[in-house]
Amino acid sequence: MNQPYVKLFALLALGTGVPVTAAADSKPATKYTIEANRSVLNTLPFQDQQDFEDAQRGLIARPETLTIKSADGTVVWDLEQYKTYISLDKPAPDTVNPSLWRNSQLVMQHGLFEVTKNIYQIRSYDLTNITFIKGKTGWIVFDPLISPETAKAALDFINSKLGERPVLGIIYSHSHLDHYGGAPGIVSKADVDSGKVQILAPEHFTEHAVSENVIAGNVMGRRAIYMYGALLPRNARGSVNGGLGMTVSTGLAGLLLPTHEIKNTGEVVTIDGVEMEFQMTPGTEAPAEMNTWFPAWNALWMAENSTNTMHNILTLRGAQVRDALKWSSYLNETIERWGDKVEVKFQSHHWPVWGNDRIIPYFKKQRDIYKFTHDQSVRLMNQGYNGEEISEMIELPPALENNWATRGYYGTLRHNSRAVYQRYMGWYNGNPSDLNNLPQEIVAQKYMAFMGGEEEVLKKAQKSFDQGEYRWVAEVMKHAVFANPKSTASKELLADALEQLGYQAESGPWRSVYLQGAYELRNGVPTGGGTQTATPDTIRAMTPGMLFDYLSVRLIPEKAEGKAFNINVDFTDSDSHYTLTVENSVMNYTQNQAAKADLTLAMTKSTLDSIQFNEISFDEAIASGKVKLSGDRSIFDGFLGMLDNFNFWFNIVTP
């Protein structure tokens, strides 16, 4: 096989196994962490047990064990590991924030649940809930998880308990991977293509689902390793909870394309006798998202617009900043549209809320957590404070602070307020010293010299650590590590500080970020594991334009320096035509095809897909006539040599 041609279309591919890291180097909670965590017990309303009633309400059955494997025997989901140390009768360990521990106990309530008449959920088979709506003859499935294996296991379980039914409809509430990736596990593409199965999604779903997982997929995927804690050990010093669920499954996510996109609020669709009315909420938790009303049962599906946590305005894995003001306005619209009717609200994570008298106050606080964060961040911003300062100053009013469903298990007030600042003001905080500041590695060397050298810094930082000043130690020691990444003492002290911050964190992602950083400082960067985002189905769903955008960000400018050429690409199955142009060390493309190009390629999109997946080499495709080439082939060979390949396991806590 001609490797350069494989490189042209090769996209990110991670191993799907999850090598849970060793915990031998983890350390116990210090007295300061123990005190900080115990203080949480005195500040929040732990006597309120309503969530525990709701999380267990409607339980029909749960499996004796919940370990799900792929066809080759690889474990893609294992709740059993968490059961060894998380249960309702166990108090929070010293190494876990009691509020996060409470959330984990609730999320661990897994199995098949009845939400209301004809609506069922299977929870904790993945990061997401999978919801089954009982129609006249079959199931309508909402948000079929990340992995085909977990989705199939859920379908098999509900069929075994409630009677076998075919899946006749799938609804993707929004464009994030954990809400569509498992679809191929419950229906076939043939059934979708034949019209047997309808797939509904919000307008622009496919565009956003594909672009988020490919263009910046490499860096987002690496940071997601930190955010979700999938590689952390399963114990009280490691992974406890992802905020929205326990963690992410690691099967090979698929993508079955929608057969119909919902475009307008108020649009009504009936599948298998079930009438559904949709509310469009673009730009909230996802760029393409929608809620669903079931008038027959006064039931409201809230997608991920109102979960039992404060959500992210900017996710720690990286994404475009979300619009907190728009988010709150759509929640207000929900109240105005169905507030006088709704009797149960349920969503893609956590557990439902029942009763109109409870749901409306719940919605108002969900609305107001985003409105407050937006308004007060902007107020302080207009007084001249920057994002870091605002995050230290902003405080929730008691009504939101003491409300379990707006606690920061996933998003946090600190990083959400910074996100609001970023949305309006960007990266520059206005201080001239930060306009063209030095990069971290250079700063580290200078700081260490100014502070008296590594040995002196270690002494001072250890003293601060012994006084419980973990945020300060982390700030100082990151410079020591970047100045001398071979220093075991510096890395160990930084790891110790990050670990204690992780133990104190209420947010599941914050805990995971701190503990993954501590692990990599002590043990080095992992080499395998995680969830694949740019999966084969995702790549097949890419339009030619999306593929060319991806190739553009791979162009190495030094290798393209001084080069100028055009490549015409004809897709014979769609009768679409493109010209790729490289000049000024930039690649552009257009459908206004050049009349005369240096090289012309003609092929079907399916042939292009086969080349991407190494099913056929480029040379074989030419020899078989699947690719027709005319012009100067050396142009193409040179173009291939200009393309970068991204290393997934890049360093984060070390230079």
Nearest of 203, 189, 317 to residue 255 by alpha carbon: 189
The Cα–Cα gap between 588 and 538 comes to 23
Residue 377 lies in a domain: yes
> Last residue of a domain, which of 402, 423, 444?
423
> Last residue of a domain, which of 423, 447, 473?
423
Express each pLDDT in 285-344 by its tens digit.
999 999 999 999 999 999 999 999 999 999 999 989 999 999 999 999 999 999 999 999
Q: What is the pLDDT of residue 2?
A: 27
Same domain, 387 and 510: no
The Cα–Cα gap between 509 and 462 comes to 27
| Nearby residues of 435 by Cβ (< 8 Å), 6 or more positions away | 428
CA distances from 627 to 547, 570, 615 (A): 18, 10, 14
The Cα–Cα gap between 652 and 655 comes to 7
* Single-letter code of the amino acid located at 181: G
- Cβ atoms of 216 and 648 within 8 Å: the answer is no
Same domain, 438 and 410: no
Residue with tokens 């876990």: 96
Residue 36 lies in a domain: no
Express each pLDDT in 477-514 by its tens digit.
999 999 999 999 999 999 999 999 999 999 999 999 99
CATH number at residue 488: 1.25.40.880
Q: What is the pLDDT of residue 5?
A: 26
pLDDT band at 530 (very low <50, low <70, confident <90, very high): low
Q: What is the pLDDT of residue 566?
A: 97
DSSP characters over 553-608: HTB-HHHHTT--EEEEEEETTTTEEEEEEEETTEEEEESS--SS-SEEEEE-HHHH
Express each pLDDT in 238-258 by its tens digit.
999 999 999 999 999 999 999
The pair phi, psi for residue 582, each rounded to 5°, is: -115, 120
Same domain, 370 and 439: no
Same domain, 410 and 452: no
Confidence check: pLDDT of 37 > 70: yes
Residue 28 lies in a domain: no
**Pairing between β-strand 274-280 and β-strand 268-271 as defined by DSSP bridges:** antiparallel
DSSP characters over 477-526: HHHHHHH-TT-HHHHHHHHHHHHHHHHH-SSHHHHHHHHHHHHHHHH---
Tell me which of 7 and 372 has the higher pLDDT: 372
Confidence check: pLDDT of 112 > 60: yes
CA distances from 85 to 101, 450, 575 (A): 11, 46, 58
Confidence check: pLDDT of 23 > 80: no
Same domain, 517 and 492: yes
In the chain, the number of structural domains is 3
Q: What is the pLDDT of residue 25?
A: 80
Q: What is the pLDDT of residue 243?
A: 96
The Cα–Cα gap between 649 and 526 comes to 7
Helix H or strand E encompassing 280: strand 274-280
CATH number at residue 70: 3.60.15.30
> Last residue of a domain, which of 423, 458, 475?
423
Q: What is the pLDDT of residue 619?
A: 87
* Average pLDDT score, the chain: 93
Same domain, 236 and 114: yes
Same domain, 570 and 493: no
Q: What is the pLDDT of residue 353?
A: 98
Tell me which of 365 and 610 has the higher pLDDT: 365
Same domain, 393 and 483: no
Express each pLDDT in 202-246 by its tens digit.
999 999 998 877 788 889 989 999 999 888 999 999 999 999 999
Same domain, 487 and 630: no
- Cβ atoms of 236 and 85 within 8 Å: the answer is yes
Same domain, 412 and 452: no
Q: How far from each other are the two terminal CA atoms of the chain, in whole angstroms? A: 36
Domain extent at residue 599: 543-640
Q: What is the pLDDT of residue 540?
A: 79
pLDDT band at 610 (very low <50, low <70, confident <90, very high): confident
Confidence check: pLDDT of 12 > 80: no
pLDDT band at 44 (very low <50, low <70, confident <90, very high): very high
Tell me which of 258 and 2 has the higher pLDDT: 258
Confidence check: pLDDT of 9 > 70: no
Q: What is the pLDDT of residue 17?
A: 36
Residue 480 lies in a domain: yes
Residue 349 lies in a domain: yes
Residue 40 lies in a domain: no
CATH number at residue 583: 3.30.1050.10
The Cα–Cα gap between 45 and 6 comes to 58
Q: What is the pLDDT of residue 230?
A: 80
The Cα–Cα gap between 467 and 470 comes to 8
Same domain, 103 and 125: yes
Express each pLDDT in 405-446 by its tens digit.
999 999 999 999 999 999 999 999 999 999 999 999 999 999
Residue 35 lies in a domain: no
Range scoring the smallest mean pLDDT among 43-52, 207-216, 627-636: 207-216
Residue 1 lies in a domain: no
Percent of the chain with pLDDT over 70: 95
The Cα–Cα gap between 375 and 377 comes to 6
Percent of the chain with pLDDT over 90: 87
Confidence check: pLDDT of 529 > 70: no
Q: What is the pLDDT of residue 614?
A: 78
Express each pLDDT in 182-200 by its tens digit.
999 999 999 999 999 999 9
DSSP characters over 165-220: --EEEEE--BSSGGGTTTGGGTS-HHHHHHTSSEEEEETTHHHHHHHHHHTTHHHH
CA distances from 191 to 187, 195, 287 (A): 7, 6, 28
Same domain, 73 and 110: yes
Q: What is the pLDDT of residue 245?
A: 96
